[in-house]
Structure 1
């Protein structure tokens, strides 16, 4: 069995990936950096991960950029898409994905330290942001093209016109940002775009 350390960086398909978990000869990996900007959805209205354009893109056009040999190592998984714990907005149906985004639970409780107490014990002051003083925020921050930037999760925000995101400082915008229109006026300095960043995740066979 090929053994890696959790947190180790590996190369696959032209990207650098962080190893988040290993089960036998398979590993859950996510790009170390934001690799591009995309809207969560290409049209207005309620949407869940199952039906959003970003999921279609990742499992279609993006997946097809990998070679046939690389695709043969990407393992499809059934993802549970839970409701938002604070707002009860719908997570939607389970999905079979080759490539996906992490959800709230994976980011808060499993792969960037355990901050589940902050998720489960929401204070009266926590309306939009998860916890600015959370000790694990720094582990979630990421960059795009050398600049700190925000990135999408697949979980719904306070309603189904929004999706949860990770702020540039690693804090979780659990209220979400608009899936079609963005509430942020911040523009990325090199792209001139305010769209959310994408950090794809996938389960990879370590037997090449």
Structure 2
């Protein structure tokens, strides 16, 4: 198994992002569902949001027992927003989680770290809508491009960072409301769960 492979694990197709010794980091190839980041519009971090509780509770519980035995619990560092300094919150112990800004910009979808560190004066709401790595971050929900959540905070703690559906793949570092459902359930953010699995 190596980075870039597509695998079937339990009931989803996953993309392998990284392999370290006897474990692999995987993310669902497609957006698996739409959900709000939190259940109300308030200051919240990944550590306390409802989406984290759901992924590590109800969503995790749906896996077959043999699959659960391969899902590793890891410590996630929840960094502050690199442009706005918004508090990322406490480190968390997660079995299933979302990627953060640095994961999608610097590590697993090409390296655009120079652009992250050198913000253009024209960039107020999203990260480099012409970045050459945007196409690698595009994900689909039921066959069409759609936006998906990251666990990182946006410009304030009532919004969370995300990946655009259109223009496809650019990083919404400014963030969307943690309770985007206020615009209607059909506007909920896409969820691409990630996890470390034992090999």
1:204 lines up with 2:197 in the alignment: yes
How many residue pairs get aligned? The number is: 197
- Looking at structure 1, the residues matched to 27 and 82 of structure 2 have their Cα atoms a distance apart, in angstroms, of 24
2:177 match: 178
Alignment deviations for residues 53-75 of structure 1 (CA, whole Å, 9 cap, x no partner): 00000000000001221111000
1:149 match: 146
For 1:102-141, list aligned pairs within 5 A. Answer: 102-141=99-138
Alignment deviations for residues 94-138 of structure 1 (CA, whole Å, 9 cap, x no partner): 000000000000100000000001110011111111001100000
Q: Which runs of 4+ in 1 moved over 6 A?
A: none
**What's the offset of the Cα at 1:13?**
1.1
- Looking at structure 2, the residues matched to 92 and 101 of structure 1 have their Cα atoms a distance apart, in angstroms, of 14
Alignment deviations for residues 4-61 of structure 1 (CA, whole Å, 9 cap, x no partner): 1211100011100000000112100000000000000001210000000000000000
1:18 lines up with 2:15 in the alignment: yes
- Looking at structure 2, the residues matched to 113 and 88 of structure 1 have their Cα atoms a distance apart, in angstroms, of 24
2:157 match: 160
TM-score by length of 1: 0.92
CA RMSD of aligned residues (A): 1.3
**What's the offset of the Cα at 1:182?**
5.8
Q: Judging changes above 3 Å, is the alpha-carbon distance between structure 1 residues 120 and 84 closer, same or farther for their aligned structure 2 residues? A: same
- Looking at structure 2, the residues matched to 167 and 181 of structure 1 have their Cα atoms a distance apart, in angstroms, of 14
Unaligned runs of 5+ in 1: none
Unaligned runs of 5+ in 2: none
2:5 to 4, 8, 16: 8
- Looking at structure 2, the residues matched to 44 and 112 of structure 1 have their Cα atoms a distance apart, in angstroms, of 30
Q: Judging changes above 3 Å, is the alpha-carbon distance between structure 1 residues 65 and 182 closer, same or farther for their aligned structure 2 residues? A: closer
**What's the offset of the Cα at 1:181?**
2.9
